[in-house]
Amino acid sequence: PETIYLKDYKPFSYTVQQVDLLFRLAANATRVISKIAFAPNPQAEDQAENRRFFLHGEGLKPISLKIDGTPVTPREVPGGIELDAPDAPFTFEAEVEIDPAANTALEGLYMSNGMYCTQCEAEGFRKITYYPDRPDVLAPFDVRIESDLPVLLSNGNPGTSGPGFAEWSDPWPKPAYLFALVAGDLIAHPDTFTTRSGNTVDLNVWVRPGDEGKCAFAMESLKKSMRWDEEVYGREYDLNTFNIVAVDDFNMGAMENKGLNIFNSSAVLASSETSTDANFERIEAIIAHEYFHNWTGNRITCRDWFQLCLKEGLTVFRDAQFTADQRSEPVKRITDVIDLRGRQFREDNGPLAHPVRPDSFVEINNFYTATIYEKGAELIGMLKRLVGDEGYAKALDLYFTRHDGEACTIEDWLTVFEEATGRDLGQFKRWYEQAGTPRLSFTESFNNGTYTLTFKQQTPPTPGQPNKDPRVIPIAVGLLNPNGDEVQPTTMLEMTEAEQSFTFDGLATKPIPSVLRGFSAPVILEHESDTQTRAFLLAHDTDPFNRWQAGRDLAQESLLTMLRDGAGPDNAYLDALLSLLRDDTQDPAFRALALGLPGQDDIAQTLADQGQTPDPQAIWEAFETLKHARAEAFQDVATRLYAQYQVTAPYSPDAEQSGARALANAAMGMINRLDGGALAQKQFDSADNMTQQLAALSALIAVGKGDAAVARFYDQWQADRLVIDKWFSVQITGARPDEAADVAQRLTQHPDFTMKNPNRFRATLGALAMHPAGFHHASGKGYALLADNLIALDPLNPQTTARMCTSFQTWRRYDADRQALIKAQLERLLATPDLSRDTTEMVSRILG
């Protein structure tokens, strides 16, 4: 397959003035009739000599093609067609036939439960009709849909409609990846929103009949997002209508198509009986994310797909700010960092590491990664820390005014910051260009009242990038004196060298440093610290993130010592955690987070970083031992917390109630280890919300008492796909390591298992991959099961197949036997005839 390079970017030879599309929908033979006004692109004048009229097209059956009314015969070229076109404005018309019912890849126009829908990002529009399917070609679209289905939707504002047809008009020029169409038997949950300048916008959440009772939360989240973007970023909505549609079969979480967001139903449908608190929070965040794209992504889009982080990093950053404002800022920060370390650091430290702005790719779908999204968002956070809140606000205002309606680059983005703040961001740009997670370490000294912190940074090589330059790193530091008072409030140190010292004067005693407060940069902080200092920070740090981090460090140290020396759990950790749990002045959500343990995969990565070979089974056992020791040490407090944090008020997914439930469920998890599932059974029997019911089910499975509850849960929820996804997952994630692959194998034979629904596939095989000791079972049965299923999925859905191959990305960490087993599966995958471009690229990169 061909590799595409950033350095080869050239503007398209033509501009598009207007797109008119007519869809005659039919399951196996939809006709798409297009009329597109082209003109030579003045921005591509240098190409005037050898202008190429190339249009993308994939799997299209051409019926007729015309230029200015005259039939033309195209030349077939890789990825599309080429035509001879005039050196002046002209109209291109095409009629093509496509087969949405046969489209299992879920890219382009496809069908899901009798409903037509589209997914065009990144390169799906070329499966709908011939078009310059690239994000720097923007045009207004007028769409007419002809179908007997009752609800016919597209982008923009509604136009004329009647029996069997509907017209839509989108005045905002947009790239084809933001095109959308939906047709189906759908029910609206309607509402309205009045923008701050007084425009009334019709809002709808469209769902299949039966789901109409699960839309209210998404609608509330949408209205909150619209208000928040006005208040915080000064961004107002710009059409008469905003539609959201829930679709069961969807590769991603959701899609920000202009005026017509299409969502994976898991990211919209919510009710207390069927959704957990975590589901509610995720839905609120994704609704916000897609809505915020209207400005950061749609009004200002990307010049090419190398710039994907321009819209994704910024929009993730914005949705995180929104969630922090709606809920708890420290809790949001902590959970984001857990996720960043679990997914992005894992990627950044393995064969799939790539810069936040990559410089080459084979298949762009493979770059919708934690690095582009989550590290991309971290870069925005660092920029904001470096230029300050005011500088950030000024830069964003300039960005919106200067670039509205344009397709932009990271250079454009950094330039507005440079101009708005007068700061040179040359060194900062390395964050976009160089992959890998910097290791930051420090030493301290104290002399005559002067305290010196000396930092070192170093980034290990990543594929294709052996040498790394020092980055600019904002390091938030505070100092505490030995009795716990803060003697130096948070200061932002700006590290620009490979090694650099910072001093603090006038201190009476040697302070205790609190470094990288709020996780001020996406780095691995390597610092040997004694247990006592960590326990001190867990008790006294004024920065909530670092308090949590101190607890996490203690847990990690204890686990590493158990693994290395066969020691028992560290009592200092248990004591420090116990004091925190007992402290009712502490937010329950925060205490629940402090009770969390690092991921087993994080421990494996840390061991690998230290030059050791992780043993997934031994890690699992160490976690079990530690959890058991905690359950025994915390019996009294667990019983008290469980009773104290039962919510008696009517269910609400708000931060306060979900924090209480999180802590009560964590307490239940501890009690469960000692009472053989008695309390969990009681909770399962009486639960009236999914958060309680699922926590109880998972606890019962963990102690081998889950059979009856698993059966009952299925009977209760068999008609609800999203709940049954949970039923699939929880049985696998809760299985013992030697059984996880067998449970997953058995579930792939269940009548409700289907390859064609990405959510179900992820709930089963993805759940196995997230059970490190089960997936990495020494027999290799986990690897074989995943590979079998990926081989079966690839011809149906390359995008989801390639995404799930990342489960193998850590293979070089492991012992020779496991490496050989994984390598054999990767090679078997790669040798599969007709393997997709997506999967071929992914497996090749993983093999290295």
Footprint on this chain of Zn ion (rule: CB under 5 A): 312, 315
Q: Determine how many CB atoms are found less than 10 A away from the CB of residue 461.
A: 12
Q: Which is nearer to ligand DPP, 380 or 701 (CB)?
A: 380
Q: Tell me if 176 contacts ligand DPP by CB under 6 A.
A: no
**What is the spatial distance between Cα 633 and Cα 41, in angstroms, rounded to a whole number?**
72
Tell me if 30 sits within 8 A of 23, measured CB to CB: yes
Instruction: Quote the least distance from Cβ 421 to ligand DPP, whole Å.
Output: 28
Q: Which is nearer to Zn ion, 177 or 431 (CB)?
A: 177
Query: In the numeric block, which tokens belong to residue 35?
Result: 């009329």
Mark out the alpha helices in 544-611 (DSSP H runs): 544-565, 571-582, 588-595, 600-609
Please pick, from the candidates 93, 249, 277, 290, the single residue that binds ligand DPP as defined by CB under 6 A: 290
Instruction: Quote the least distance from Cβ 180 to ligand DPP, whole Å.
Output: 11
254 binds, among Zn ion, ligand DPP, none (CB under 5 to 8 A by kind): ligand DPP
Tell me if 492 sits within 8 A of 385, measured CB to CB: yes
Instruction: Quote the least distance from Cβ 252 to Zn ion, whole Å.
Output: 9
Please pick, from the candidates 93, 107, 121, 541, the single residue that binds ligand DPP as defined by CB under 6 A: 121
Q: Which residue is nearest to ligand DPP (CB)?
A: 255
In the residue annotation, 411 being an active-site residue is answered as: no
Instruction: Quote the least distance from Cβ 310 to ligand DPP, whole Å.
Output: 12
Q: Which is nearer to ligand DPP, 310 or 386 (CB)?
A: 310
Question: Which of the ranges 247-255, 343-351, 424-432, 529-537 carries the binding residues for ligand DPP, by CB under 6 A?
Answer: 247-255
Instruction: Quote the least distance from Cβ 361 to Zn ion, whole Å.
Output: 18
Q: Tell me if 288 contacts ligand DPP by CB under 6 A.
A: no
Q: Match 């045009």 to its residue by tokens.
A: 139
| Residues whose CB is less than 8 angstroms from the CB of residue 81 and which lie 6 or more positions away in sequence, other chains included | 54, 55, 57, 65, 74, 75, 130
323 binds, among ligand DPP, Zn ion, none (CB under 5 to 8 A by kind): none
Q: Which is nearer to Zn ion, 293 or 327 (CB)?
A: 293
Q: Which is nearer to ligand DPP, 249 or 290 (CB)?
A: 290
Instruction: Quote the least distance from Cβ 322 to ligand DPP, whole Å.
Output: 14
Amino acid letter, 748: T
Q: What is the DSSP letter of 753?
A: -
Q: Determine how many CB atoms are found less than 10 A away from the CB of residue 75.
A: 10
Q: Tell me if 255 contacts ligand DPP by CB under 6 A.
A: yes
Q: Which is nearer to ligand DPP, 174 or 818 (CB)?
A: 174
| Residues whose CB is less than 8 angstroms from the CB of residue 65 and which lie 6 or more positions away in sequence, other chains included | 71, 72, 73, 74, 81, 83, 92, 93, 94, 95, 130
Where in 746-785 is the site for ligand DPP (CB under 6 A)?
A: none
Tell me if 189 sits within 8 A of 264, measured CB to CB: no
Q: Tell me if 256 contacts ligand DPP by CB under 6 A.
A: yes
Instruction: Quote the least distance from Cβ 772 to ligand DPP, whole Å.
Output: 27
Q: Tell me if 254 contacts ligand DPP by CB under 6 A.
A: yes
Instruction: Quote the least distance from Cβ 293 to ligand DPP, whole Å.
Output: 6
Catalytic residue among 123, 281, 284, 290: 290
**What is the spatial distance between Cα 565 and Cα 126, in angstroms, rounded to a whole number?**
58
Q: How far is CA 675 from CA 635, 712, 734, in A?
A: 11, 21, 18
Closest CA to 313 of 269, 344, 275, 274: 344
Please pick, from the candidates 312, 319, 363, 725, the single residue that binds ligand DPP as defined by CB under 6 A: 312
Residues that bind ligand DPP (rule: CB under 6 A) add up to a total of: 8
Q: Which is nearer to ligand DPP, 121 or 725 (CB)?
A: 121
Which three-class secondary structure state does DSSP give residue 244?
A: strand
Q: Which is nearer to Zn ion, 311 or 760 (CB)?
A: 311
594 binds, among Zn ion, ligand DPP, none (CB under 5 to 8 A by kind): none
121 binds, among Zn ion, ligand DPP, none (CB under 5 to 8 A by kind): ligand DPP
- Cα distance from N-terminal residue to C-terminal residue, the chain: 16
**What is the spatial distance between Cα 595 and Cα 377, in angstroms, rounded to a whole number?**
27
Rounded to 10 deg, the angle between the 277-292 and 308-326 helix axes is 130
Closest CA to 218 of 157, 275, 156, 152: 275
Q: Tell me if 378 contacts ligand DPP by CB under 6 A.
A: no
Which three-class secondary structure state does DSSP give residue 776?
A: coil
Q: Tell me if 304 contacts ligand DPP by CB under 6 A.
A: no
Closest CA to 802 of 842, 769, 756: 842
Instruction: Quote the least distance from Cβ 293 to Zn ion, whole Å.
Output: 6
Q: Which is nearer to Zn ion, 140 or 253 (CB)?
A: 253
587 binds, among Zn ion, ligand DPP, none (CB under 5 to 8 A by kind): none
Question: Which of the ranges 77-85, 227-235, 251-259, 691-699 carries the binding residues for ligand DPP, by CB under 6 A?
Answer: 251-259
**What is the spatial distance between Cα 191 and Cα 188, in angstroms, rounded to a whole number?**
9
Q: Which is nearer to ligand DPP, 120 or 145 (CB)?
A: 120
Give the start-end residues of each E strand in 703-802.
Answer: none
Instruction: Quote the least distance from Cβ 311 to ligand DPP, whole Å.
Output: 7
Q: What is the DSSP letter of 484?
A: S
Tell me if 412 sits within 8 A of 467, measured CB to CB: no
Please pick, from the candidates 19, 98, 178, 252, the single residue that binds ligand DPP as defined by CB under 6 A: 252
3-state secondary structure string across 11-33: CCCEEEEEEEEEEECCCCCEEEE
**What is the spatial distance between Cα 768 and Cα 760, in angstroms, rounded to a whole number?**
12
By annotation, the residues acting in catalysis are: 290
Q: Which residues bind ligand DPP (CB under 6 A)?
A: 121, 252, 254-256, 289-290, 312
